[in-house]
């Protein structure tokens, strides 16, 4: 429980850091707003077509009687939309970070500077930074699918699908959301995606304390936009805590005798 609360405190500290700097907050909203508009359109389209997709995916139920055919296809449609929503919560962060790469990199560096300094990041042009971010996000997404696809099908299991599976889904989403948000500070330290995941698993309670509240908050689109800059700031503080980053000493200037 202490670990979970420690993760929550880091999240709140990140939000406080950004909200005390309104200019940083306003600039951070633009990438999130762009991403939100695209995701909202896609999710609305999926919701409108979910019933048709359920019919297409379950041809074996064409001859089933009532209420079993309707129950199966309604459950399929709801699970499809639910799985898409959880996937959207995770990938929303990755896409927003990609769209706002220069800003979020600068934001993370300023957070580190305010905490005593940051290690020098890789000296790469912007296009290469974007390529690395895209590659890392793809690696994370593949790992997300390894969990979400089995959970999707387990959702059809009576009782289990309505109790345990949603809780597991939230836990998985919270973990991978933290993986994505911490990517900026992790990349600055040259930590690979597999090593990032091992590091976060080693402090799982702290990781979930940071990520789970964000998952629940990100289910509300406007809240997701407002909290995104602070989430990046908080993830930077989290990475400093996980790596026990010592402050970078300021250069000493000797006065003239």
Q: How far apart are CA 14 and CA 16, in angstroms?
A: 5
188 pLDDT more than 50: yes
């979400």: which residue's tokens? 148
Asked, for residue 142, whether it belongs to a domain, the answer is yes
Residue 191 in any domain: the answer is yes
Closest Cα to residue 234, out of 179, 181, 186?
A: 181
Nearest alpha-carbon partner for 183 in 123, 135, 249: 135
In this model, does residue 255 exceed pLDDT 70? no
Inside any domain, residue 125: yes
Angle (CA) 204-165-82 rounded to 5° is 105
Write down the H helix ranges in the chain.
2-19, 22-57, 68-99, 101-114, 126-154, 164-181, 183-188, 193-202, 204-218, 221-243
User: For residue 182, which of 256, 237, 106 has the smallest C-alpha distance?
Assistant: 237
Residue 235's contacts (CB-CB under 8 Å, 6 or more residues apart) are: 14, 108, 178, 181, 182, 184, 185, 210
- 204: Cβ–Cβ under 8 A, 6 or more apart, which residues? 3, 175
pLDDT (mean) for 13-41:
87
pLDDT tens-digit readout, 117-151: 777 766 677 677 778 777 887 888 788 888 878 87
pLDDT score recorded for residue 209: 94
SS3 255: coil
Question: The pTM is what?
Answer: 0.75
Give residue 254's pLDDT: 46
Answer yes or no: is pLDDT of 240 > 50. Answer: yes
pLDDT of residue 249: 46
pLDDT at 252 over 50: no
pLDDT at residue 178 is higher than 90: yes
pLDDT of 250: 44
| Mean pLDDT, rounded, for 10-38 | 88
- Say if residue 201's pLDDT is above 80: yes
DSSP state of 115: T
Show the tokens assigned to 7.
Answer: 């993760």
**Tally of structural domains, the chain:** 1
- Per the structure, the complete domain to which residue 144 belongs is given by 2-241
Ranking 56-70, 163-177, 206-220 by mean pLDDT, the lowest is 56-70
User: What is the CB neighbour count within 10 angstroms for residue 89?
Assistant: 22
Task: Kindly indicate the confidence band of residue 248, based on its pLDDT and cuts at 50, 70 and 90.
Answer: very low
Does 246 fall in a domain?
no
CA distance 86 to 145: 11
Residue 148 placed within a domain? yes
Whether residue 252 is contained in a domain is answered as no
From 43-52, 160-169, 184-193, the region with the lowest mean pLDDT: 160-169
Within a domain: 66: yes
In sign, the C-alpha dihedral spanning 212, 42, 81, 220 is positive
- 255 found inside a domain: no
| Average pLDDT in the chain | 83
| C-beta separation of 179 from 197 below 8 A | yes
């Amino acid at each position: 429980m202490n670990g979970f609360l420690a993760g929550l405190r880091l999240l709140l500290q990140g939000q406080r850091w950004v909200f005390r700097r309104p200019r940083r907050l306003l600039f951070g909203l633009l990438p999130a707003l762009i991403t939100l508009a695209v995701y909202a359109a896609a999710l609305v389209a999926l919701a409108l077509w979910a019933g048709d997709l359920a019919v297409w995916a379950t041809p074996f139920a064409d001859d089933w009687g009532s209420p079993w055919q309707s129950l199966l296809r309604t459950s399929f449609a709801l699970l499809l939309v639910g799985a898409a929503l959880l996937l959207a919560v995770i990938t929303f962060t990755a896409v927003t970070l990609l769209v706002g790469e220069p800003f979020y990199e600068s934001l993370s560096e300023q957070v580190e500077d305010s905490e005593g300094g940051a290690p020098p990041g890789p000296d790469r042009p912007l296009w290469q930074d974007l390529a690395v971010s895209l590659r890392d996000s793809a690696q994370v997404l593949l790992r997300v699918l390894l969990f979400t696809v089995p959970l999707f099908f387990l959702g059809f299991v009576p009782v289990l699908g309505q109790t345990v599976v949603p809780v597991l889904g939230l836990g998985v989403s919270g973990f991978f959301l933290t993986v994505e948000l911490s990517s900026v500070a992790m990349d600055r330290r040259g930590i690979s995606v597999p090593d990032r995941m091992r590091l976060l698993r080693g402090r799982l309670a702290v990781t979930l304390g940071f990520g789970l509240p964000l998952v629940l908050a990100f289910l509300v689109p406007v809240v997701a936009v407002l909290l995104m800059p602070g989430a990046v700031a908080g993830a930077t503080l989290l990475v400093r805590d996980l790596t026990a980053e010592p402050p970078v000493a300021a250069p000493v200037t000797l006065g003239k005798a």
